[in-house]
Chain A
Amino acid sequence: MKYAILVYQPQEAFDRRDSASIAAGKAYGEALQAAGVLVGGAGLESPKSATTVTLRDGKRHVQDGPYAETKEYLAGFGIIDVPDLDAALEWAARHPAAAHSSIEVRPLLGSHFLTAAGAAQ
Chain B
Amino acid sequence: MSKAAAHAAIEAVARHSYGRLIAYLASRTRDIVGAEDALSDAFAAALERWPVDGIPDKPEAWLLHVARNRIIDAVRRQQVREKSEKALLALAEEAQNMAAEQERFPDERLKLLFVCAHPAIDPASRTPLMLQTVLGIDAARIASAFLVSPSAMGQRLVRAKAKIRDAGIPFRVPDPAEWDERVSYVLDAIYSAYTTGWESLTDVGSTHQALAAEAISLGRTLVELMPAEPEAHGLLALMLHCEARREARFTASGEFVPLDQQDTSLWSRSMIAEAESHLRQAAALKRIGRYQLEAAIQSIHAARADTGRIDWAEILVLYEGLVRIAPRIGSLVGRAVAMAQAVDPASGMSALEEIAVSQVATYQPYWAARAHLLQLLHRNEEAREAFARAASLTDDPALRNYLFKRSAECQ
Contact = CB atoms under 8 A, between A and B. Distances in A.
B29 A119 contact: yes
A86 B86 contact: no
Contacts of B87: 116-120
Q: How large is the interface on A (under 10, 10 to 19, 20 to 34, 35 or more residues)?
A: 20 to 34
A97 to B, nearest CB: 20
B100 interface: no
A113 to B, nearest CB: 5
A111 interface: yes
A116 B28 contact: yes
Contacts of A86: 169-170, 172
Interface string A78-101: 000001111011000000000000
A115 interface: yes
A85 B90 contact: no
Secondary structure type dominating chain B contacts:
helix
B120 interface: yes
B170 A84 contact: yes
A114 B166 contact: no
Interface string B282-303: 0000000000000000000000
Contacts of A116: 28-31, 75, 80, 84, 87-88
A112 interface: yes
Contacts of A83: 170
Most chain A beta carbons < 10 A, residue from B81, B88, B166:
B166
A65 to B, nearest CB: 31
A115 B30 contact: yes
Interface in B218-263: none
Contacts, number: 68
A118 B27 CA distance: 11
A1 interface: yes
B28 A112 contact: no
Secondary structure type dominating chain A contacts:
helix
Contacts of A111: 168
A84 B118 CA distance: 13
Contacts of B75: 116
Nearest to B26: A119
A120 B168 contact: no
B86 A117 contact: yes
Interface in B309-345: none
Contact of A120 (B81, B91, B165, B170): B91
B38 to A, nearest CB: 13
B83 interface: yes
Nearest to B90: A120
A85 to B, nearest CB: 5
A90 to B, nearest CB: 10
12 contacts: A84-B168, A84-B172, A88-B168, A107-B166, A113-B80, A115-B84, A115-B168, A116-B30, A116-B84, A119-B29, A119-B87, A120-B90
Given A112-B30, A112-B166, 6 more contacts: A85-B167, A113-B80, A115-B168, A116-B84, A119-B28, A119-B30
Interface of B: 27-31, 75, 80-81, 83-84, 86-88, 90-91, 118, 120, 165-172
